[in-house]
Amino acid sequence: MKRKKVTVLGSTGSIGRQTLDVLSAFKDDFEVIGLAAGKNAPLLAEQIQEHNPRFVSVKDAFLAQELKSILKNPVIEIFWGDIGLEFISSCSCDIVVNSLVGAIGLKPTISALSHGKRVAFANKETLVIAGSLIKDLLVKNKGEIIPLDSEHVAIHQCLGRDVPVGRLHEKIRRIILTASGGPFRSWTKSQIQNAKKEDALKHPTWVMGQKITVDSATLMNKGLEIIEAMALFDIGVNQIDVFIHPQSIMHSAVEFIDGNIIAQLGATDMKLPIQYSLFYPERKELPFNLFCDLLSVGKLEFEKPDFERFPCLKLAYDVAKKGQSYPIVLNAANEVAVDLFLKEQISFVDIEKIISRTLENHNPITPKSLEEILDIDREIRIRANEFVKSIGTQFIVSIATN
């Protein structure tokens, strides 16, 4: 059987590394043809030695030089920057795994879909900022998107292949997106106001990259996933509910109009959705000891999310309802704010303040092209940073605590 050629964007990250673990376990089915990373040249060099790709890409020319010197006499082609990401997403591969973090994933997604590739999609920020553009590309080209995010893989499985996308809203009552609740699920509002970086990075059930771990602590991750689900399944925000489910065993569910609820359950490990996304529509035996022992889980609990303690989820719901350019603003302001929080320049509650102020000052448009999306994204990043500088971080912390 011919092996499928796979390119992994973000191979040095949490999803990227787990994708390579899955690919290593299925060497008869897949061949790694391309790898892209940001700054972690030493790890990328190790991955190149192990997987022997033909093309690689890194963040910039300086890192490309660093990689060359680690590899000594590389026989592979090394690219860099946006152009490198776009090129390796379009060249001779069958599947592009997009596990980049943030809006940087948009251009390579467009490149892969324009060249008719299957994109196994973890990079939710791209669907948040450019859902309509991506949907148009899917109609015009032969490319396809298979979700890789555990919740969307769950929904994909619950829907099965019987319900045609585009008519889903007629057949389903609602999608139930589950969330672990993050590290602050049982914290009071005043405890959350004093949360530190190390508290936010202690996720109770998942081990992930830093940005998504902070997004899980604010519940913005679930907000982004609402907008991601709207784009993937062509469904309205009024048909999506979020349930807090601390065990993280039920990854999401679909309630149909006839009262039947179909849920997907499984171990809390991203290798399962990664394997599903790579093989879909086939199913292969799991090569890892990750079967879920429901008897030891014992009970499954569900709670309503608390918008007062987790206002970022409310912001995302509002933005999902408003549409237009608001999701681009939500995402860009969130990326800026989370980055500042990770650098310990702002407090945890400042994240929401920065996003809501940036949203309040936005004059919406309906972006029609990639250029318009990227222009708004750029402008909002500048504005969010200017807002932080103009008022000073201590002031922001104080409005949050009043």
Ligand X SMILES: NC(=O)c1ccc[n+]([C@@H]2O[C@H](COP(=O)([O-])OP(=O)(O)OC[C@H]3O[C@@H](n4cnc5c(N)ncnc54)[C@H](OP(=O)(O)O)[C@@H]3O)[C@@H](O)[C@H]2O)c1
Contact positions vs ligand X (CB under 6 A): 10-16, 36-40, 59, 99-101, 104, 122-125, 149, 206, 208-209, 211-212, 270
Task: Give the 3-state secondary structure of 106-126.
Answer: HHHHHHHHHCCCEEEECCHHH
CB of residue 36 vs ligand X: minimum separation in angstroms? 5
Least CB distance to ligand X at residue 40 (A): 3
Nearer Cβ to ligand X (16/266): 16
Is the distance from CB of 257 to CB of 167 less than 8 angstroms?
no
Count CB-CB contacts under 10 A for residue 374.
17
Phi/psi for 11 (5° steps) reads -70, -20
**Closest CB to ligand X among 8 and 244?**
8
Angstrom distance (rounded) from CA 293 to CA 246: 16
CB-wise, 99 or 347, nearer to ligand X? Answer: 99
Identify the helix (H) or strand (E) that includes residue 83: helix 81-90
Instruction: Show Cβ contacts of residue 209 under 8 Å, excluding neighbours closer than 6 positions.
Output: 13, 14, 15, 101
- In the bound state with ligand X, the residue whose beta carbon lies nearer, of 103 and 380, is 103
For the CB of residue 153, give the shortest distance to ligand X in the complex, in Å. Answer: 9
Residue with Cβ nearer ligand X (145 or 396): 145
Nearer to ligand X, 86 or 255 (CB): 86
User: What whole-number distance in Å separates Cα of residue 346 and Cα of residue 342?
Assistant: 8
Residue nearest to ligand X (CB): 13
- Look at residues 82, 124, 113, 99 and name the one whose alpha carbon lies nearest to residue 47: 99
Nearest distance from C-beta of residue 11 to ligand X, angstroms: 6
Please state the closest distance from residue 292 (CB atom) to ligand X, in A.
17
d(CA 384, CA 375) in angstroms, rounded, equals 14
Q: How far is the CB of 185 from ligand X (least distance, A)?
A: 18
